[in-house]
Structure 1
Amino acid sequence: MLDFTSDFAGDNLSPAQTSEVSPINDQALLDAYSNAVISVTERVGPAVVRIETGPKAGSAPGQRGGGLGSGIIISPDGLVLTNSHVVGASKEIRLRDTEGVVTDAHVLGVDADTDLALLRANGSRDLPYASLGNSKTLRRGQLVVAIGNPLGFESTVTAGVVSALGRSIRSVSGRTIEDVIQTDAALNPGNSGGALVSSAAEVIGINTAIIQGAQGICFAVASNTAQFVLSEIIRHGYVRRAYIGVSGQTAPIPRRHAVLAGVENKMGALLMQIEPDGPAARAGLLPGDVMIKLDGVDIHGVDDLIRVLDRDRIDRTVSMDVLRLGRLREFDVHLVERKPVPRQALAS
């Protein structure tokens, strides 16, 4: 008979010795975890501000106060990242730091497609700030800390792990936000725009959404996406994207049409409306056409189409493959730059 007793750790220890080892190791792990959270909070916490929008409460008889959210100071001269739905179309924006100091701010630019906005605090002073990290280095199970102002409770800290990477969620504009971080760090209304921070005290996400009724399913826009939006707003005042002038929906492709056309797509982007005199209309596209390829990229639905219409395709003529009445046709479409969405359109 085989003897497995030697495979178990602790077999050579007495019961007294075993009871002494485990608590010490557990305590060491708990201390390391606590110290990591404390360190992150002390380093990044002062850079997370409360954002108040709209008129101050009680500023006029019968007038209600504005909304509340969170933001992250990312430069000492007062650049602040937050969510576009936090600022909306508000003209009055105030920042309240951890010491209770209130500063007025103004909007430099918003991008509803990624639910991000960039503000600048009025007045020049040396502010505490946090650095954006590289979200591509994240791994599932990694410790993260969320800092914000949930339900108006300022400077609240919660901790958890990265639950999943590469998620996609729908933004307020209807466009899909790609490469979203899922976390179980507790978030509530008011956390929006706050920081999701790694144990290295780098901001690796901007908290943006929770699923109502779900337990521990929360989302943050990846810091790499935020870095791209930040650079675009600083250069242009908005994020540049290509425009084709259609509205559509994801639709299945009948198998007989796919076989007849010699394509493998099971799904495509069904064009429902064509804007008059838009790029698609000038190219000869019609409602009912099903797009299956644009500029050499397979299109399996509206999300794929949105993803392809990036700034690199602005002012370019690209080929488009569509199925029309089951037959494959190719069109040349000259893409233009999409006009930025007015902030007034973001008002809820």
Structure 2
Amino acid sequence: MSLSATTESTLLALSNSLADIVDRVGRSVVAVHARRISSSGIHWREGIIVTSDETIRREDDITVTLPNDRTVPATLIGRDPSTDVAVLKLPDAELPVAEIGDAASLKVGHLVLAIGRGRDRGLSASLGVVSTAGGSWRSMSGGLIDRFLRLDLNLYPGCAGGSLVDATGQVVGFTTTGPRGTVLAIPAATVNRVLDRLLEKGYISRGYLGVGMQPVRLPDSLKSKLPLSSEQGVMVVSIEPQGPAERAGILLGDILVALDDTPVKDTRDVQAFLGSQSVGQTLKAQLIRGGELVELAIVVGERQGR
């Protein structure tokens, strides 16, 4: 067989393989109608649809279009804006459950597919690569996401919330939009963790301190006077009446520099201590007040996410 014939055969095999994966995975991808423009969702578990929370604009009168073009009502079970996960209940789904994999093995350069579904145009797919793969990170609202995955592919209108598929054909997360038009993925590990909590409680329990804060740079006079491990901290600019911080004795103008002996440089450092597991725990807070170091104990309160 000539080189050109071998190349043609290889490309044809790859093309057919990709088309087969899209067809198979697409049977568990639906169109979700919860805003003016539909988004996509994944039949993640029996009767459970997972989609991107940022595409849910209303909580009632949500419908889903199935692969057979039938549109049926769906009920919002719960949502977690901090991880961008929303969960819908779909009665009598009559479609296969997605084969869920693990995004932990994805590396920069790996081929991936984004598969979505629209109300009118049906199934759509985009082929690209993983352009960035990092460790766990926190969203702007403090949600813990197990891997940072940025994708180099086109996310067509209505495809947010659709399947991210690896080269084995497994669904390893869903696609969503990031800052400045980037395409990100919410990995399956994050989806499963949030999904379990939403199915159990209907909401995500989060720790909170009841303070408003802003980052500040510490002056040289304080850094030379006090045994500080950082050049920054967060200043308390507001306090919720009867909240955990007020009950602990925190005052306006206090500068928080450490929690449980871990330096605090900005508000994300504080949010890292306020996951659902922190509710009811006591944190040792180190503060600067009147030019001196003060230590207080704060019992973390509970705030229910949407």
How high is the TM-score relative to the length of structure 1?
0.79
2-side partners of 1:255 and 1:35: how far apart? Answer: 65
When residues 308 and 25 of structure 1 are mapped into structure 2, their CA distance, relative to the original with a 3 A threshold, is farther
Matched, 1:87 2:56: yes
Matched, 1:219 2:200: no
Residue 45 of structure 1: which of 9, 13, 26 is its match? 26
CA deviation string 1:181-229 (max 9, x = no partner): 10012113312211111122222222121444x5xx3112122111110
Deviation at 1:79, TM superposition (A): 0.1
After TM superposition, the structure 1 = structure 2 runs for residues 172-183 of structure 1, keeping only pairs within 5 Å, are 174-175=141-142, 178=145, 179-183=147-151
After TM superposition, the structure 1 = structure 2 runs for residues 1-348 of structure 1, keeping only pairs within 5 Å, are 20-21=2-3, 23-24=4-5, 26-27=7-8, 29-53=10-34, 66-76=36-46, 78-122=47-91, 124-149=92-117, 153-166=121-134, 170=139, 174-175=141-142, 178=145, 179-212=147-180, 217-341=182-306
2-side partners of 1:260 and 1:292: how far apart? Answer: 14
State the secondary structure of the residue aligned to 2:283.
strand
Q: Which amino acid aligns with 1:89?
A: R
When residues 25 and 252 of structure 1 are mapped into structure 2, their CA distance, relative to the original with a 3 A threshold, is farther
2-side partners of 1:308 and 1:28: how far apart? Answer: 55
CA deviation string 1:45-87 (max 9, x = no partner): 1111001126xxxxxxxxxxx44111100123x1000122222
State the secondary structure of the residue aligned to 1:34.
helix
When residues 285 and 44 of structure 1 are mapped into structure 2, their CA distance, relative to the original with a 3 A threshold, is same
Deviation at 1:249, TM superposition (A): 2.4
Aligned pairs, how many?
A: 304
2-side partners of 1:254 and 1:36: how far apart? Answer: 61
2-side partners of 1:333 and 1:251: how far apart? Answer: 21
Larger Rg: 1
Identical-residue share of aligned pairs (%): 28
In the alignment, structure 1 segments of 5+ residues that lack a partner are: 1-16, 55-65, 342-348
Q: Which amino acid aligns with 1:165?
A: A
Q: Which amino acid aligns with 2:26?
A: G
Greater strand share, structure number: 2
Deviation at 1:319, TM superposition (A): 0.7
State the secondary structure of the residue aligned to 1:39.
helix
Q: Which amino acid aligns with 1:261?
A: L
2-side partners of 1:181 and 1:83: how far apart? Answer: 15
When residues 281 and 199 of structure 1 are mapped into structure 2, their CA distance, relative to the original with a 3 A threshold, is same
User: Does the 8 Å contact 2:112/2:128 carry over to 1?
Assistant: yes
2-side partners of 1:69 and 1:79: how far apart? Answer: 16
Q: Which amino acid aligns with 1:300?
A: K
State the secondary structure of the residue aligned to 2:237.
strand
In the alignment, structure 2 segments of 5+ residues that lack a partner are: none
How high is the TM-score relative to the length of structure 2?
0.89
Aligned-residue Cα RMSD (Å) equals: 2.4
State the secondary structure of the residue aligned to 2:155.
coil
